[in-house]
Amino acid sequence: MSIISVYEADKSDLMYKRFASLASSYLDMPENAKSSTAQIPLENLFRLLEMYKYDAFSDESRTGILAVKNNKDRIVMRSASIPWQTKVVEVLDSAISEIFKGTKKDEAVDDLEETLRLLSSSNEIDDGRKRRARGFFNKLAEELA
Amino acid sequence: MSSKEFLRQECKNIKDVLEETLRFKYGLDGSKEFFEECETRRTFIESEINNVPESDYSSLEDIGININELSGLISRIERSSLGEYSWPFVEELKKIAIAVCRESTLIGNDTPPKVYVLSDGGLDAYRIYTEPNRPRVSRRRILTIVFPRTLKYFVLLHPILGHEVGHAIWRCSKLQYELKKIVQEELIDSGGKFESPASTASWIYDKNSPLAIKNYLSFLSKHGINDANLFHWADWEAWKEEILCDLIGLLSFGPSFVAAHCELLYALAPTGASFGDEHPPVGSRIKMVIRAANLLGYNDTSGLSDGDYKEGVNKFWTNLDARKQDDPWYDIFSDQQLISVMERISTLLGQYPPALYQETTPEVLSALFNKVQKQVPPVGYEINEDGLGICKKVDFRNILYVGWIAKQQIPDMPFLKLNQLCEYAILQQRGIDIFLDGV
């Protein structure tokens, strides 16, 4: 038996908050986005935008095809928990609507993904693109908790 | 030592472990990319520790979890040993996984995952760990393919991993979107036992269900599970995903998947009645895969010439049919539902060669079978009438199919020997393919 058992709550909201705040800071200081460690928040935000674009948030860990459970394993009822992405999607919806007024969701996501790519590859980002992305990531950082 | 100091020390320890292991060598392709990925993750965690105040216990706890995950990942990579699994099979499996599990990332629209392989204890070890999509300290996705250590030489059973490839595909957002749509339209909206969680529960608790199922339900009832709360324990979404992955396994590996699926599932659940919170009844899954294979026409021997090979093919499919549960209760979907869903999944997999299994000609399979009869590895190599060697491409999945046919037709040949012949063939075929490609 392990020496400790701790319930690891889903901290996705907090992690995205941190990643969004870092992305916003990279827009102010693009030289910091060049480091390999900066790719971690940027890649995570890119992955989030992909899940959002395709509404593909199904992410549960599955056991193997032959998973055998013996009679020592407890049979446990699942709680009716709120899906992990609920709050994140709410904030994404409102950030898109506020920053990209009237733009279609897919177009807004493509715009943000392109900005993340430009940022991570140290390419020049025009002011309009920078302003939209900064507004979007600041909104995420403010509203996720 | 404060929590923060302890975490900082553990981060340094991980750096030392990385230097001792992945810095230099791992696997056939080296370990540089794993080293770089893990070092990037470690450096990020270190910078997060440095930015957190000593008193921010909540953040320190989260960082501790991230360190644990990284430490576990490095240890798994470290104990991966080429000597513990069939690497010729792995090299072919990687081609499929890398072709199809591509995603849009910062560096492009079809970034492949990094793949590493290890063995573990227990027949149920077969799986592919896919890192989650939700936020984590990682840059590139790493897939971990796991084989049961004891089945190292049993390459004919390894096609079961076709099912696990399905789970790996499911993690790719764009593909998940497409697959979800296919399942919804072809298997859910079309009605039947999976029309809703309630209809699935009514099927499971049908008063005409087989006795073995009733016995299993009686076992579950002792733990408070009944028709009203079945899907408070079981996960209906997981059941659908498992069914989808069985179909992906079939379509990506062909007949060898059908055989491995039937053998392994019945080996662990011989009655076929048991099911789990994530998996629907074993008997239903096996029956669905065999029926689907028949609908694909894999069992059609009408074009084959009489002889040992044809006899072997007939026995292979007849014996599989005999292992299907007779009771119609076990049928989950109609023929039309299976045909429609397979058509659409095939179209999707077909976009990512070699992910979709392609049938070859009976002549090729028959020639491979003749080699096994002579106890020669079944590879694409012939000596022509002039005594010259001719090399031909052969897909490893057809080598495995021929191995299963030989199991039926050459009962005196030990199963282990058949597996070894097929493993050697996959290895030798790799050499032949390299020669033919002029690499």
Work out the minimum CA distance from B362 to partner chain A, whole angstroms. 31
| pLDDT on residue B80 | 74
Mean pLDDT in residue range B339-352: 98
In a domain, A63, yes or no: no
Report if residue A48 sits inside a domain.
yes
- B62 in contact with A, Cβ within 8 Å: yes
Beta-carbon contacts of residue A86 (< 8 Å; ≥ 6 apart): none
The Cα B106–Cα A116 span in angstroms is 7
**B106 with A78: Cβ contact below 8 A:** no
Domain-embedded: residue A1: no
Backbone angles phi, psi at B80, to 5 degrees: -75, 125
Q: In angstroms, what CA-CA distances link A46 with A93, A118, A135, B114, B137?
A: 16, 12, 16, 18, 14
The complex's ipTM works out to 0.91
**pLDDT tier, B438 (very low <50, low <70, confident <90, very high otherwise):** confident
Distance CA B364, CA B380 (A): 8
Mutate to test the interface with B, among A51, A65, A81 (most CBs of B within 10 A): A65
Report pLDDT for B31.
75
Q: State pLDDT tens for residues A38-89.
A: 999 999 999 999 999 999 999 887 777 777 665 556 677 877 778 999 999 9
Residue B142 sits at φ, ψ, to 5 deg, of -115, 125
| B213 closest CA partner among B327, B135, B101 | B327
Candidates A14, A54, A78; nearest CB to B176: A54
**Residue A38: inside a domain, yes or no?**
yes
In a domain, residue A35? The reply is yes
In a domain, A117, yes or no: yes
Smallest Cα distance from B40 to chain A, Å: 5
CA pair distance B235, B226, nearest whole angstrom:
14
Residue range(s) defining the domain that contains residue A113: 12-57+82-143
B69 touches A at CB < 8 Å? no
Q: Considering the domain boundaries, does residue A30 fall inside one?
A: yes
Domain boundaries, chain B: 3-152, 177-350, 362-437
Asked, for residue A87, whether it belongs to a domain, the answer is: yes
Task: Give the residue from B139, B219, B236, B239 with the most A CB atoms within 10 Å of its CB, the best one to mutate.
Answer: B139
**Would you say residue B338 has pLDDT above 70?**
yes
Q: What are the residues whose beta carbons fall under 8 Å from the beta carbon of A138, sequence distance 6 or more? A: A20, A24
pLDDT at B27: 54
* Residue A6 pLDDT: 65
The number of distinct structural domains making up chain A is 1
Predicted local confidence at residue B82, as pLDDT: 66
